[in-house]
Amino acid sequence: MRALPAELYAQALELAEAADMEGLQDLFEAAKEKADEKSSKRLDKAKSYLFSNEGGLKKEVPERGLGTMEGQIDKILAHRMKKRGMSWTLDGAHRMGIMLALRENGELDRRLGQTSVPVHAPIVPTPQPLSLPIDPGGWLRASLPALTGPHGSRPWVAALRGIAGLGALA
């Protein structure tokens, strides 16, 4: 883009996408004939780069394309395995990676259907009916034996009276 004139750039891009190396050769030669010395050096550098990476231009891309595969795998694994206060063994991390890959490829449900491990529902305890004590007001008649026992004159008993709100009875 920096080396070729604007009118030739679009044509060069089409030739590079088609991996037409002969067409690129002709295009660069035609551009070089019209170029000054500085532009000529940029053209040589761009041409050298393209022809050095010719194998990358000619690689066949799968029908579905690669898209942003690495970036997405990185995010999926990072979100599941980091920042959740968990630690992983190497085996556990490997197994989780396989599970995440199966989920992303839409194969997890099918694979889980093939497992022979029985899945048990959690046992939910049946609620017991509530029952009231025979004397529901009995707790109101509670007493603190320490207040009237043999240690009634000790400082900790005085503190207990204060906590119970019975400081006036001292």
Read off the pLDDT of residues 69-113 as tens digits, 9 standing for 90 and up: 555 555 666 666 666 666 778 888 888 888 888 888 888 888 877
CA 50 vs CA 12, 33, 75: distances in Å: 11, 19, 32
CA distance 170 to 168: 6
Torsion 93-98-104-108 (CA) sign = negative
Whole-model pTM over 0.85: no
Q: What is the pLDDT along the chain (170 residues), one digit of tens a residue?
A: 677 877 787 888 888 878 788 888 888 888 888 878 888 888 888 888 888 877 776 655 555 555 555 555 556 666 666 666 667 788 888 888 888 888 888 888 888 777 666 666 677 788 888 777 777 777 777 777 888 888 888 898 888 888 887 765 55
The DSSP code for 120 is: -
